[in-house]
Amino acid sequence: MKLQLGRCLLQERMEERGVTADGLAQALLYKPERLKDYVDNKRIMPLQVAISIADTLGCDVRGLYELSPAESAVSSR
């Protein structure tokens, strides 16, 4: 099934684990502004970044975004 990315859930995952954006950025050697762009949905995380963030936070990579089934352009009848 094809999925569509929704809202970024990074802020929620950080709050669940008691991690700040500055702390996560420091652990990953990223700029905090970059993480803020993900949280604000200004940028989509590349897969490698999402895996690194999920591994650092101890969550599933699929938990970093809301996911919903994509609307199919072709309807099957």
HEC profile for the chain?
Answer: CCEEEEEECHHHHHHHHCCCHHHHHHHHCCCHHHHHHHHCCCCCCCHHHHHHHHHHHCCCHHHHEEEEECCCCCCCC
Domain that holds residue 39: 3-69
Task: Give a yes or no: residue 33 inside a domain.
Answer: yes
**Domain count across the chain:** 1
Task: Give a yes or no: residue 20 inside a domain.
Answer: yes
Task: Give a yes or no: residue 77 inside a domain.
Answer: no
User: 39-75, pLDDT tens digit by residue?
Assistant: 999 999 999 999 999 999 999 999 999 999 988 655 5
Task: Give a yes or no: residue 15 inside a domain.
Answer: yes
User: 32-46, pLDDT tens digit by residue?
Assistant: 999 999 999 999 999
Predicted TM-score of the model (pTM): 0.86
Task: Give a yes or no: residue 17 inside a domain.
Answer: yes
CATH number of the CATH domain containing 49: 1.10.260.40
Task: Give a yes or no: residue 38 inside a domain.
Answer: yes
